[in-house]
Amino acid sequence: MRGWSLPKQDYWSRPFAETLLDHLDLAPGASILDVASGDGIPAFYLAEQVGPTGQVLGVDWSEHQVARARVIQGPHLPWLRFVCLDMRALPTGLPAFDRITGNLSVMFFRPNRFDTVRGLVEHLKPGGQLVLTFPSLGTFGSLWRRIDRDMEARGLSAERKKLADYIAERPSADEGRRWLETLGLARIRVTEQPLEIVTGPGPAFLHHPLLRGGFLDDAYDCFDDPRLADEVMTNVSDDLPSFTPLLAQRCCLSGWKP
């Protein structure tokens, strides 16, 4: 029989999922909505825990991610389904769930994160639990400060403004707590834990699988001139000791609907 433990080789999703599971109250037979489900971390594990008397619905707006999760699932865990939906506008006909989870989810709730969380709570049964994880404000702060210093030295005021706006847009743990309090959730628990990302200098940093395609792309997007972006980021990448250790903040929000 196949087991569905969290994959050990995933050095990004797994630590966040472990934090989520530390906060989540799981029981056989529970119904779970897992948003931003990606390729199934932790949806497969959740489905194994609730068993055939439960149900898990994984939703993601990426058709590619949903297709990949279905391929991984194959004929297993028939009480688990993956569907392509925008979690920011869930269908009104969607049922209520005992638990709603979202690993590495909150950054995908933009631009109106509070409204998205409110929509999730509307699909939570009374007595149900909401648990969300995300990299919170302060994630890779040493890196952003290093990039900003290079921008300042070059007199790049417009680029600095874009970088500052990007950093400020990342939600904090306190902001997440306020969302849950405003929505009337009870037994609220908010935690943050550092997660170190190890990388080498130069190309190893610029093409790091956990940084490129996300965090570093946001820095590149601050530049209108791609050649200038490459020059600044290459200079930063060769100065690795100035911004390591490189730390992400694992934030977890948990609350119960009265």
Within a domain: 243: no
Within a domain: 6: no
Q: If we measure between CA atoms, which residue out of 145, 186, 140, 187 comes closest to residue 164?
A: 145
Q: Which residues contact 220 (CB under 8 A, 6 or more apart)?
A: 226, 229, 233
Q: If we measure between CA atoms, which residue out of 216, 213, 209 comes closest to residue 243?
A: 216
Same domain, 43 and 129: yes
State the total domains in the chain. 2
Within a domain: 2: no
Within a domain: 7: no
Same domain, 158 and 37: no
Same domain, 129 and 109: yes
The pLDDT of residue 90 is 93
Identify whether the C-beta of residue 46 lies closer than 8 Å to the C-beta of residue 101: yes
Domain housing 61: 13-136+171-196+249-256
Same domain, 61 and 147: no
Instruction: Give the distance from CA 239 to its chain's centroid.
Output: 28
Q: If we measure between CA atoms, which residue out of 6, 2, 8, 38 comes closest to residue 24?
A: 6
Run means of pLDDT, 10 residues per run, the chain, 258 residues: 75 94 97 96 96 98 96 96 95 95 94 96 98 97 98 98 94 97 98 96 95 91 97 98 97 98
pTM: 0.94
Within a domain: 227: yes
Q: If we measure between CA atoms, which residue out of 247, 244, 229 comes closest to residue 146?
A: 244
The pLDDT of residue 1 is 39
The enclosing domain of 58 has a CATH number of 3.40.50.150
Q: Which residues pair with 130 in a beta bridge?
A: 100, 255
Within a domain: 110: yes
Q: Which residues contact 61 (CB under 8 A, 6 or more apart)?
A: 84, 85, 86, 87, 108
Same domain, 84 and 190: yes
Q: Given the structure tokens 């991984």, which residue do they identify?
A: 72
CA distances for 230 relative to 200, 224, 226, angstroms: 17, 11, 6
The pLDDT of residue 2 is 58
Same domain, 58 and 107: yes
